[in-house]
Chains A and B, each alone.
Chain A
Amino acid sequence: KAGVTQTPRYLIKTRGQQVTLSCSPISGHRSVSWYQQTPGQGLQFLFEYFSETQRNKGNFPGRFSGRQFSNSRSEMNVSTLELGDSALYLCASSPTGGGYTFGSGTRLTVV
């Protein structure tokens, strides 16, 4: 069974631009969560989607948004990028009942 797929693996953007990251969960998993990982802050929860609805949200500004499609694939968007948004963005999929499988992440560098 295929794992969680995140694209792209690496991304370089300039300040002020916007970016969209994609996550395809494990087949049958309806929950997709997004995390930001940085050396200073560790793993910070961004949001969770379940059946196309945002079920949960972390403490990030409104520049960070997401959505989930009917096939459970999810996208995360960051607008007006700042240098501090440079991080590894991780997606995790989960079946009903818990247990999270993480993707390899997208490493975003903002210059």
Chain B
Amino acid sequence: AQSVSQHNHHVILSEAASLELGCNYSYGGTVNLFWYVQYPGQHLQLLLKYFSGDPLVKGIKGFEAEFIKSKFSFNLRKPSVQWSDTAEYFCAVNAWIQGAQKLVFGQGTRLTINP
């Protein structure tokens, strides 16, 4: 079935560690890709998005993501995490599915940063 997969359900890191969260999707054709973050008790906020052009996308708060078309991947990275990055992270793909555009989310990755 077509889907969006986030491989890590819960990631625990120490401050200053490097972060990479995986995201793979299975939709063909043109896709738009997003990473959203949800801080505890808050709503979804857009971290970054890829529509076209440079596959390395820079977002807010020092996050970046790389679109690798051949691998159907859009992994999120940050060189040095902070305690304030503790949140849930969602990868989402906007694709044409059964004749209509849909935004489909991965299951989310809970990130815990220990001070």
Contact = CB atoms under 8 A, between A and B. Distances in A.
A90 B36 CA distance: 13
B94 A98 contact: yes
Interface string B88-109: 0010101000001111111110
Q: How large is the interface on B (under 10, 10 to 19, 20 to 34, 35 or more residues)?
A: 20 to 34
B103 A45 contact: yes
B11 interface: no
Nearest to B98: A56
Contacts of A48: 100, 102
Contact of B34 (A42, A100, A103): A100
Given A45-B103, A102-B36, A90 B43 contact: yes
A101 interface: yes
Contacts of A92: 44, 103
Contacts of B104: 45
A101 B92 CA distance: 13
B101 A56 contact: yes
A42 B106 contact: yes
B32 interface: yes
Interface in A30-45: 33, 35, 42-43, 45
Contacts of A99: 32, 46, 49
A55 B94 CA distance: 14
Nearest to B94: A98
B100 A100 contact: no
Contacts of A104: 42-43
